[in-house]
Structure 1
Amino acid sequence: MDQIPKPHVLWPMAFQHVLAMYAGAVAVPLVLGGAMIQAGQMKPSDLPYLITADLLVAGIATILQCVGFLRFGSRLPIVQGCTFTAVPPMIIIGTNYGPAAIYGSVLACGLFMMLMAPVFARILWMFPPLVTGTFITIVGLSLIPVAAMNIAGGNAEDAGSMSNIGLGMFTLVVVLVVERWAPPAISRTSVLIGLLVGTIAGALLGKVDLSGVSEENWVGVATPFHFGLPEFPPSAVIALVLVGLVTLVEATGDFLAAGEIVGKKATPKQIADGLRADGFSTMLGGVFNTFPYTAFAQNIGLLAMSRVRSRFVVAGCGLILIVLGLLPKLGAVIAAVPTPVLGGATGALFGMIAASGIKTLSKITMNENSLIVIAVSLTVGLLPVMYPSLFEQFPDWFTTMFNSGITTGAITAVCLNLFFFGGKHVPANSGKQAEPDYTDASMYKKDRDGLVADDD
């Protein structure tokens, strides 16, 4: 994880991380910007700014998370991007109060996350392998509908066509073929090769649109408070603070998942530093008029698939994102990758996340109560994923908190584990003792190996 690969390995792998997260990175500014334009709160010319500013801050946040500075950054290979959880409340805030209120609320959200970071680090004993394995599995399964929508073509007019689905599945087959038969050095770039080959195939089918490239400027620099000085309506701040709570829960699970994949379990200090960096990046988003930031789960899946765990590779991804944030024309070229191609490639990544959760669960000695915790958590976590309008009649604050299957599943797993096992160190939820490197939840309840003895 701490190795710095040679440039000919580092930069292709870093670029692969960019391609894996780019669609998700630009989706939030596109959705929010489109809603604000329809509400008359923004102009169409503001949309390119939202995209470039988002990429710039995402790059800075990624480097801070991977490399770290003082007590900011988990120093794990984590790619940062804006969270979809914040989109619905931000649209409501922007429609009612305007963009300045959105970014004032984002600033308040970031400050709240920074202050709460040590608290969350101290409750990690509530996340034994039974909980984290279930949570990671839910993360992977809840992202699969996103891959399915992309394979179908997203919101395009020909969504669901045979050509779109065929292109997406072709991309997935290319990834699998490269992973199976290519030499190790090449197989580690299987997703990148799949995206390149899929894009070429998409161009032959007429699905690559480069018209947006000529319309973009070569240079676009984000400026602080582009939409004016921030405003802080109390109801708007409360809504984004709720988003901050959700983001802290999701980010904690992502750090634990990344630690499992790289074979170095995240310590309480790393969790606190990582969450503190999330809060700082979110505050930076408020300054540059972007969004709350958190770890991108699809890139955690890429760690498992590529088997390249260096945090400096992911830091290289952050540097590329900064360049793309300053050069919108280059970003438009990457945006030309057809949506079905992205779906085919990311489908494998999302599945890898779920498989990593199952691997964690396989290390546990099960009993009947363990199975109940897993079964009910999976069911509750996937309810809003399978039926998105499940909480449609509930208040906005409730929908913000619980319409994410990841959040509902995590809360259910934590509560059921406490209900059946409390804080006890028991084989059913703590992991097999035959594996000394696999630490369990009890390590967080006492000062062992200096993991808790810090300033938090």
Structure 2
Amino acid sequence: MLPTGMMFAFGLQHALVMYAGTVAVPLVFAAAMHLSAAQMIVVINCGLMTSGIATIVQSVGIGKFGSRLPIVQGSSFAMLASMLLIGQVYGIQAVFGAVIGAGLGMVLLAPVMARLMRFFPPVVIACLITTIGLTLIPVAGRWIGGGMPGAPGFGSPVNLLLAFATILMTVAVQAWGRGFMASISVLVGLVAGSLLAALCGLGHYAMVAQAPWFAVGTPFAFGPPEFHIMPVAIMLLSMVIIVAETTGNCLAVGRMVGVPVTDATIARALRADGLSTMLGGVFNSFPYNAFAQNTGLIAITDIRSRFVVAAAGGIMIGLGLFPKLGALIAALPPPVLGGCGLVMFGMTTVGGIRELLHVRFEGTRNGLIAAVSLGLGVLPMACPDLFAHLGGLWRLLLGNGVLLCVLSGVMLNLLVGDRAPAVADAGPMPPPPEGRRVDKKR
């Protein structure tokens, strides 16, 4: 536990990083389902509120729910295609019914899924962390350009200069700052970049004045949920992606903070995913999983306290209850987010490369496993249209680089992996830098 001021500052930093991803899924879903402006506000506010609750459950833990690791929970983009397919065929009430059903299935099957941990040797974990970082870099690239490729003004010189100025400010604070200031380098970069954007006339804060001061999400705002066998089955099968992503992020964060991740840890994390997903269905929201964006923030700041992440969850709840605050954060220019995101996602990639340095390659087939796993992991990012001609569910599964990396790594390890020790002796984990506080009470 850190002092209140530091806890709030570090938590706000996490909330700012996760905000864009958290509101992106409701925005895309609302637009594709042709929801009204009032309905769009409902799903966004409910998404923020439930995301905050889910983050607190995952990081603090309640009984057998929650990994008790500094992990942020957010709406999963991987489930968006399945939800839109269900919504177009069965209607929006069936979407929330399928979300509730899939969440319940996750809670019940979590212990079985957690036993897959034994199939994750160090080489697979290292490839997974590296792939997570690499697959997030295009997200930062789209933010740096100002939105989506093809949109007016995408990649304009002003956007690029603003993003690189944000990168320079973030790096300067991290490199030359001391103690607390270095730890909030991303927050400083976001604030400084936003001020610079306002001076350039890029800030759009009209939505702040239009947003209401207070609003509470109500359960089943779109009517009672409808439960159909096929939509629930499709959503539950799609949850395989969430299992892979949450498992990978638990392993990555566990390595970063020096906490062993066991089958029980994974089971509690998956139960929290299931409970959060059920809560999302009740409050007009969507499935939740561990957000990879925030692992890079832990890597760059070395702030390992899970209570900081819980504070971020509390801030997200506040953003959901006070739409003006959410609108203020939403007004952050995308190039500013992209500049900070590039630094953080790059740090996640470097974390994976550091883990690869500890893997023994000589006299083993780990080099083959790493080569194929990394290649398949970045394939959907490098060639997005490769699986365009496949069916919807296959395209959804094969288009996820993290899932491809996990599956290929596990299968290759079973087929050609060596039974000899596969990790080089790297010595004990170094202590955290002086002046950084580490949560050791888990």
TM-score (norm 2): 0.94
1:17 aligns with 2:14: yes
What CA deviation, in whole Å up to 9, does each residue of 1:155-175 have, x standing for no partner? 352111010011111111111
Q: Given the alignment, which residue of 367, 381, 386 partners 2:382? A: 386
Amino acid at match of 1:371: G
1:146 aligns with 2:143: no
Maintained 8 Å contact 2:293/2:345: yes
1:446 corresponds in structure 2 to none
Specify the SS of the correspondent of 1:197.
helix
1:46 aligns with 2:39: yes
Amino acid at match of 2:176: W
Maintained 8 Å contact 1:151/1:168: yes
1:351 corresponds in structure 2 to 346
1:317 aligns with 2:312: yes
1:327 aligns with 2:322: yes
2: distance between equivalents of 1:81 and 1:73?
A: 14
1:6 aligns with 2:3: yes
RMSD: 1.4
Q: Given the alignment, which residue of 424, 427, 442 partners 1:432? A: 424
Amino acid at match of 2:421: P
1: distance between equivalents of 2:135 and 2:425?
A: 31
1:27 aligns with 2:24: yes
Higher mean alpha-carbon deviation, 356-365 vs 78-87, is at: 356-365
- 1:434, distance to aligned residue in structure 2 (A): 6.0
Amino acid at match of 2:384: P
- 1:238, distance to aligned residue in structure 2 (A): 2.0
Q: Given the alignment, which residue of 116, 121, 124 partners 1:123? A: 116
Specify the SS of the correspondent of 2:33.
helix
* Identical positions, percent: 44
2:232 corresponds in structure 1 to 237
Q: Given the alignment, which residue of 76, 81, 88 partners 1:83? A: 76
Specify the SS of the correspondent of 2:377.
helix
Higher mean alpha-carbon deviation, 254-263 vs 412-421, is at: 412-421
Maintained 8 Å contact 1:112/1:244: no
What CA deviation, in whole Å up to 9, does each residue of 1:257-291 have, x standing for no partner? 01001111212211111110110000000100101
1:60 aligns with 2:60: no
2: distance between equivalents of 1:146 and 1:13?
A: 23
Specify the SS of the correspondent of 1:81.
strand
Amino acid at match of 2:299: A
Amino acid at match of 1:44: A
Higher mean alpha-carbon deviation, 383-392 vs 17-26, is at: 383-392
- 1:143, distance to aligned residue in structure 2 (A): 0.7
Higher mean alpha-carbon deviation, 80-89 vs 238-247, is at: 238-247
2:408 corresponds in structure 1 to 412
Q: Given the alignment, which residue of 172, 184, 192 partners 2:179? A: 184
Q: Given the alignment, which residue of 77, 93, 97 partners 1:104? A: 97
Maintained 8 Å contact 1:305/1:352: yes
Amino acid at match of 1:246: I
What CA deviation, in whole Å up to 9, does each residue of 1:368-418 have, x standing for no partner? 511111111111111111111211111111112111111111111111111
2: distance between equivalents of 1:434 and 1:289?
A: 48
2: distance between equivalents of 1:151 and 1:145?
A: 10
1:400 aligns with 2:400: no
1:160 aligns with 2:152: no
Specify the SS of the correspondent of 1:123.
helix
Maintained 8 Å contact 1:16/1:191: yes
TM-score (norm 1): 0.91
What CA deviation, in whole Å up to 9, does each residue of 1:397-447 have, x standing for no partner? 11121111111111111111111126x3x223xx23564779xxxxxxxxx
2: distance between equivalents of 1:259 and 1:385?
A: 26
Amino acid at match of 2:111: P
1: distance between equivalents of 2:146 and 2:347?
A: 22
2:86 corresponds in structure 1 to 93
1:299 aligns with 2:291: no
2:268 corresponds in structure 1 to 273
2:440 corresponds in structure 1 to none
1:225 corresponds in structure 2 to 220
Maintained 8 Å contact 2:59/2:70: yes
